[in-house]
Amino acid sequence: MEGEELQHVFAKRIKIGQELELFFEDKLYLCLLEKLNPKGAFCIVIKELELATPLPFITLYQCVPVELKTVDFIVERVSEVGAYRLVPTLSKRSFQNITAINKRMERWKRVALSAFKQCKRPKPLEIAPPTRLEELKADADLNLLLDNFGGEKSLKDLNLNGVKTVSLVVGPEGGFTRQESELLRERGFIPIKLYPYILRSETAALLGVGLIMNLSTPP
């Protein structure tokens, strides 16, 4: 190991002969630290760790905030509460520069990797390529639209037992336009509301994912 991974070893004060977990090429390994110096760390693989990802698999379609750096916060926090995938989504009132979004993708993947190490997820949050709201399809077991201006139901009104996949759409500052809300409803997304107050986009994403994970009963 070298670079950022090596810095992590020194920060954790891991000593030669101690075990550590290493994420490499999308797999997690239990390793033994064999050698350590300022230029690199050398590990022996003990075994590959097979860790089950908790259900449901939540795909968060996050309309990109106007302050693009806010996505860093969202990636970190929804990683901690259990989202499986995040898809940056463009809507009428969201950040619009898709070139700038693409330039931030690698940074968001690094943030997801750092959060993965901190909260002991079985694998990092997936960061998918950006998409547009009108391209979304209700193809999960449960498809939800967070709409504090037009949602009639709360999460407690939904049957989450046995649900394996969830799509959750969270709007930008100012919410969705009426046309966007109607489009998603027509495609099968259920509008829900988080109580009791109007939340910031990043707060709604965090709370929505966390509640779904904790209210669900795994199959």
Name the average pLDDT for the chain.
91
pTM tops 0.85, yes or no: no
Portions of the chain given CATH number 3.40.1280.10? 57-215
Confidence of residue 218 (pLDDT cuts 50, 70, 90): low
Residue 118: per-residue pLDDT: 82
Residue 129: per-residue pLDDT: 97
Percent of the chain with pLDDT over 70: 99
Residue 52: pLDDT above 80?
Answer: no
Confidence of residue 53 (pLDDT cuts 50, 70, 90): confident
CA atoms of 102 and 141, how far apart (whole Å): 29
CA-angle at 128, arms to 122 and 132, nearest 5°: 145
Percent of the chain with pLDDT over 90: 67
Taking domain 57-215, whether its CATH number is 3.40.1280.10 is answered by yes
